[in-house]
Structure 1
Amino acid sequence: MTRLTIRIDFDGGRQVGHGKIRLLELIGEHGSISRAAREMKMSYRRAWLLADEVNRMFSEPVLETQHGGVGGGHARLTSFGHALVGHYRAIETQALKSFGKQIGDLERRLRPAEKVASK
């Protein structure tokens, strides 16, 4: 299935794309970086580094975290974090609406996918 993937490249080499947005969505859904990491099949450290990168990218925090203790830690999206995810998804939707015809035209011209030999 063809899909359109958007990545926003800000000045200074800062980027937000599908993976970071999905990570934020899962953190918001589960209230846990660890659980979001497991669902995305990545290490906790990788998820934490990506979340921290996004959190430091903007002048407003995207996430609020509380370190573990007896009850364990938690993470939640701030109102700006929810806005960031919403803006990204709106950009993605609008791009697909705007360019769906062209994407469909290219898709129809694709050669059939070749089967990859299994090892």
Structure 2
Amino acid sequence: MNRRYPNPRFRLRIVFSEDEMIGPGKAELLERISNTGSIAAAGREMGMSYKRAWQLVETMNAMFNEPVVLSTRGGASGGGATLTETGKAVLSGYRSLEDEAQKAAEEHIARLQGMLRIRGDEN
């Protein structure tokens, strides 16, 4: 482990088109929707506005052949949201790719990390 930069992060984003992509943020949103049963609660946990969380869900629902999230309106019985089978497959596929890419990148990241300048070293 490098004391100067002990925890480099590897982030993977798949860009299908200019407006259609999936990366760490959308994957985390899907996970939190799955865990909380709510788009609003998932967004709150991420420090994201309700409107932004809904926009991301709408974007993902439009990107794939089938919706990734199904929601019901609130009211007396309360609303809710669940991942569809497509949503579960998208999340699982993204996380699997992310894990494989992380493993493949570890040696490269370590090599690059070893070449980093020590912070505060101006000489």
TM-score in terms of structure 1 length: 0.90
| Higher relative contact order, structure no. (Cα contacts within 8 Å, ≥ 6 residues apart) | 2
Identity fraction in percent: 43
**Equivalent in 51, 58, 64 of residue 58 of structure 1:** 64
Secondary structure of the corresponding residue to residue 10 of structure 1 = strand
- Counterpart of 2:88 in structure 1 is 82
Say what the alpha-carbon RMSD is for the aligned residues: 1.1
Equivalent residue number for residue 35 of structure 2 = 29
Counterpart secondary structure, 2:65: coil
Deviation of the 1:11 alpha carbon: 3.2
- Alpha-carbon shift at residue 12 of structure 1 (Å): 5.2
User: Which sections of structure 1, spanning at least 5 residues, go unmatched?
Assistant: 115-119
Residue aligned with 2:14, SS: strand
Instruction: Quote the offset at 1:50 in angstroms.
Output: 0.6
Runs of 4+ in structure 1 deviating by more than 6 angstroms, as ranges, are none
Give the match for residue 97 of structure 1.
103
CA distances 1:56-99 after superposition (whole Å, capped 9, x unpaired): 11111101110111021100001110110110011111111112
Secondary structure of the residue that 1:76 maps to in structure 2? strand
Relative to its length, the structure with more helix (as a share) is 1
Secondary structure, counterpart of 1:64 in structure 2: strand
- For structure 2, which runs of at least 5 residues remain unmatched after alignment? 1-6
Residues 13-28 of structure 1: matches in 2 within 5 Å?
Answer: 13-28=19-34
